[in-house]
């Protein structure tokens, strides 16, 4: 197989080669000012990232995991609380919940979008919770703990259906922290407000990751919290900096969770390209779906509801023969990924919670069937053709793939 036929799952090299001069200018500037942590570059990035999310404030932090943790803590989640999220996510979501001192609990996802199912979210309260009339809070009946927050995850770059989620959350007085770590620039049409809203602007706060492979990625670790609440933003700034608002005067114990200047400067350079990169991803996604449908493959392509403008951090198909398909593509020089092979409620650290296979069937079935195809802004049409040809060839060579029922229903 020649190199030209290889299609990597992700190409982070070409993008950085194109921006090399601009990125090196950032490094030189930081070296000359020795302003390594905090300072004007961080503030400049925070201002412009908040603007791009149509959110009033942004606090840069050291990772997306810290962003979820600090957002939860700053919004008022207390040790011992229960925080709801989905089983179809990266473990960082639930790690951050635990690190905030809370206990994660789960609500299953929608079979077509893989995001929090608003009806099941409502059913969780109707089935398991009761109102504590003294505090006005929802208490989990058997666990005897308050349920105080929900973290909808905008998985793969598509926002969760926020209107009904926010409605249920308001009814039960939940704090809402968007996990927007995979959704920089994603948009949602709010039927309630009759306007498009940006990821990171709809909850009490939102968490972003700038891990290098993200739609907006740093050249190292970085993250951010966005919010329209000035007091919450200030709390995140204090938490990220050892609990101090003024140097060496500590209001509380905090963390070392700051964003450094080189990452902020590089992110600022890249932010100018985010809209174009997201457009490229959306075009590539539309082309994949068209090619896969034309080739009459049995794989299920991603579902983008009319209220969503997804930014395709990942382009995820479903196949009943996922593992064999992945091996076949790998043998043909095509890189793929599985996001994620084990739903979080079945991961080892959460065994003590007591969930078992079958408890969240939609997330579990997705975990068995999802396959992420190569996706990045510079992905060429020829590369996409090769990926789709690879899938079509696999299907011709395998007996008769079983059509997927669950994903196309609902």
Does 188 participate in binding ligand PLP (rule CB under 6 A)?
Answer: no
Task: Give least dist CB 131 to ligand PLP, A.
Answer: 31
**Both structure tokens of 213:** 């492979």
Contacts of 309 (CB under 8 A, 6+ apart): 186, 187, 188, 189, 196, 282
Task: Give least dist CB 85 to ligand PLP, A.
Answer: 10
User: Which residue lies nearer to ligand PLP by CB, 74 or 325?
Assistant: 74
Does 87 participate in binding ligand PLP (rule CB under 6 A)?
Answer: no
Piece of the chain touching ligand PLP by CB under 6 A; list 89-97, 315-323, 370-378, 381-389: 89-97
Phi-psi bin for 133: left (phi > 0), alpha (psi -120 to 50), beta?
alpha
Size of the residue set binding ligand PLP (CB under 6 A): 15
Cα separation, 263 vs 289, whole angstroms: 35
Does 372 participate in binding ligand PLP (rule CB under 6 A)?
Answer: no
Cα separation, 60 vs 87, whole angstroms: 27
Per-residue mark of binding to ligand PLP, 45-84 (x: CB under 6 A): ------------------xxx--x----------------
Piece of the chain touching ligand PLP by CB under 6 A; list 85-93, 125-133, 351-359, 384-392: 85-93
DSSP string, 93-127: HHHHHHHTT-EEEE-PBPTTT-SB-HHHHHHHHHH
Does 301 participate in binding ligand PLP (rule CB under 6 A)?
Answer: no
Contact 145, 124 (CB under 8 A): no
Phi-psi bin for 344: left (phi > 0), alpha (psi -120 to 50), beta?
alpha
Does 113 participate in binding ligand PLP (rule CB under 6 A)?
Answer: no
Does 85 participate in binding ligand PLP (rule CB under 6 A)?
Answer: no
Task: Give least dist CB 155 to ligand PLP, A.
Answer: 7
Stretch 217-276 residues interacting with ligand PLP (CB under 6 A)? 223
Cα separation, 65 vs 221, whole angstroms: 10
Does 88 participate in binding ligand PLP (rule CB under 6 A)?
Answer: no
Contact 83, 102 (CB under 8 A): yes
Contacts of 392 (CB under 8 A, 6+ apart): 295, 297
Find the residue with minimal CB distance to ligand PLP: 64
Piece of the chain touching ligand PLP by CB under 6 A; list 4-12, 88-96, 123-131, 281-289: 88-96
Which backbone phi and psi does 204 adopt, to 5 degrees? Answer: -65, -30
Contacts of 34 (CB under 8 A, 6+ apart): none
Task: Give least dist CB 177 to ligand PLP, A.
Answer: 11
Does 104 participate in binding ligand PLP (rule CB under 6 A)?
Answer: no
Instruction: Give the single-character DSSP code of 258.
Output: B
User: Which residue lies nearer to ligand PLP by CB, 91 or 123?
Assistant: 91
User: Which residue lies nearer to ligand PLP by CB, 93 or 297?
Assistant: 93
Q: Is 34 exposed, middle or buried (0-12, 13-18, 19+ CB in 10 A)?
A: exposed
Binder of ligand PLP out of 55, 85, 88, 89 (CB under 6 A): 89
Binder of ligand PLP out of 108, 179, 321, 364 (CB under 6 A): 179
- Separation in Å, CA 189 to CA 3, 151, 177: 42, 19, 18
Task: Give least dist CB 223 to ligand PLP, A.
Answer: 5
Task: Give least dist CB 96 to ligand PLP, A.
Answer: 7
Task: Give least dist CB 156 to ligand PLP, A.
Answer: 9
Task: Give least dist CB 33 to ligand PLP, A.
Answer: 26
How many whole angstroms from its chain centre is CA 64?
9
What is the signed CA dihedral for 367, 180, 196, 283, rounded to 10 degrees? -60
- Site residues (vs ligand PLP, CB under 6 A): 63-65, 68, 89-90, 92-93, 153, 179, 181-182, 209, 211, 223
């Amino acid at each position: 197989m020649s190199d030209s036929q290889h299609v990597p799952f992700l190409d982070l090299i070409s993008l950085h080669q194109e921006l090399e001069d601009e990125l090196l200018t950032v490094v030189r500037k930081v070296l000359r000012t020795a302003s390594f942590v905090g300072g004007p570059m961080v503030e400049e990035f925070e201002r412009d990232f908040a603007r791009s999310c149509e959110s009033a404030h942004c606090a840069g932090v050291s990772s997306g995991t810290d962003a979820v943790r600090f957002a939860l803590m700053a919004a008022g989640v207390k040790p011992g609380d229960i925080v709801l999220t989905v089983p179809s996510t990266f473990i960082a979501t639930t790690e951050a919940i635990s690190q905030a001192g809370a206990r994660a609990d789960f609500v299953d996802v929608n079979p077509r979008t893989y995001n929090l199912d608003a009806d099941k979210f409502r059913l969780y309260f109707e089935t398991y919770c009761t109102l504590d009339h003294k505090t006005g809070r929802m208490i989990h009946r058997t666990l005897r703990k308050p349920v105080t927050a929900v973290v909808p995850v905008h998985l793969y770059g598509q926002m969760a259906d926020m209107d009904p989620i926010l409605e249920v959350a308001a009814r039960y007085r939940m704090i809402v922290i968007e996990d927007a770590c995979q959704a920089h620039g994603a948009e949602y049409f709010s039927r309630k407000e009759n306007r498009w809203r940006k990821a990171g602007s709809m909850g009490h706060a939102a968490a972003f990751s700038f891990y290098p492979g993200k739609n907006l990625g740093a050249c190292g670790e970085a993250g951010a919290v966005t919010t329209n609440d000035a007091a919450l933003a200030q709390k995140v700034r204090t938490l990220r900096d050892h609990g101090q608002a003024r140097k060496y005067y500590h209001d509380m114990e905090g963390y070392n969770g700051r964003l450094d200047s080189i990452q902020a400067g590089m992110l600022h350079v890249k932010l100018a390209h985010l809209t174009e990169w997201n457009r490229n991803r959306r075009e590539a996604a539309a082309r994949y779906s068209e090619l896969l449908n034309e080739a009459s493959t049995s794989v299920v392509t991603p579902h983008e509801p009319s209220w969503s403008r997804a930014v395709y951090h990942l382009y995820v198909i479903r196949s009943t023969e996922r593992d064999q398909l992945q091996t076949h593509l790998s043998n043909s020089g095509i890189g793929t990924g599985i996001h994620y092979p084990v739903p979080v409620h079945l991961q080892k650290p959460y065994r003590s919670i007591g969930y078992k296979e079958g408890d969240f069937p939609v997330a579990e079935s997705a975990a068995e069937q999802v396959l992420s195809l190569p996706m990045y802004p510079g992905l060429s049409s020829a590369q996409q053709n090769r990926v789709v040809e690879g899938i079509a060839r696999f299907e011709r060579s395998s007996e008769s793939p079983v059509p997927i029922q669950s994903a196309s229903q609902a």
